[in-house]
Structures are given as structure tokens and as C-alpha cells.
Amino acid sequence: MKIDDEWKVVEIGARMGGFRHVLHSLTCSIDHNLNDILIRIPQKPIIPKKCSSFACAMKWFANKEGKIVEMKGIKKIEQLESFHSIVVNKKNGDRAVFARNGGRSIFNLFLHNKDRSKLLADIRRVEQLVKIKVS
């Protein structure tokens, strides 16, 4: 939006859970850092009219709090068609704590696919593959 010969990027609603930069980059090829520089020059920011694909960010928590005994399925996730990246925050022996109690996720997963149905199928596969045992 252009107001008084200056560009303003208006965000309708913030995305809960974070990862806005990564998701916008994967789906619409929006580079927030470049657009921030372009707005300050001042030049028109590069925002495509249509998004080319679909993406998903998942923060994975254990079903209950306690010590992590076993984590299964994380290597199998990397074989999925929609897999983009994963950041593992916890390992066996670490303590799993819910977010409401100040804990961090066990892993953060990013999936990306041009076909929405394939992305949704891979999300379901992740939910079935990952098993985290907590004592």
C-alpha cells in the first residue's frame, strides 16, 4: 500500500507460533529482508500476486511431560515428498515440558509442496510416524 509516497506493508493478522518469514518464503517467494530494505530506500516492495505452493510449520510436543525415553520416526520424516527441513531441539534423556509450562518443542518441522492434497497427506503421515515415549 502506498501512502504519501511511502510504501507501507500491512499485516492483517500475526501468525501464532512464529515462522512467518520461512512460510512466506516457501509459499510466495517473499523475502522480508529485501522488502524491508526496498521500503526504506524507498522503492516498491516485491510481493507476488499469487502464491505458487503450500507450506506447513509444525512444533512437535510430547503427549505428557517427563523424561524422553525414545523418539521414533524422525528419520522417516526426511524421506517424505513434502519435507523441507527439521530442527531437533531435544534428544533422548532430555526433559519434555509443555509450552504452557515454559517448555520448548521436541522438534520443529517444515513441509512444503505445490500440491495441497499431497501436503495434507504428508502431514497425516508425520502424525502417524512420530512416536515419542516419555517416562
Same domain, 65 and 112: yes
**Segments forming the whole domain that contains residue 130:** 54-134
Which of 14-28, 47-61, 83-97 is the most confident on average?
83-97
Per-residue pLDDT tens for 80-99?
A: 999 999 999 999 999 999 99
**Residue 80 placed within a domain:** yes
Q: What is the pLDDT of residue 64?
A: 95
Give the sheet arrangement for strand 54-60, strand by strand. Answer: 54-60, 107-113, 83-88
**Residue 46 placed within a domain:** no
Same domain, 129 and 65: yes
Distances (CA, A) of 58 to 30, 38, 67, 108, 135: 20, 31, 21, 6, 23
Domain count for the chain, please give it: 2
**Residue 95: alpha-carbon gap to chain centroid:** 23
**Residue 18 placed within a domain:** yes
Please provide the average confidence, as pLDDT, over all residues in the chain: 91
**Residue 129 placed within a domain:** yes
**Residue 48 placed within a domain:** no
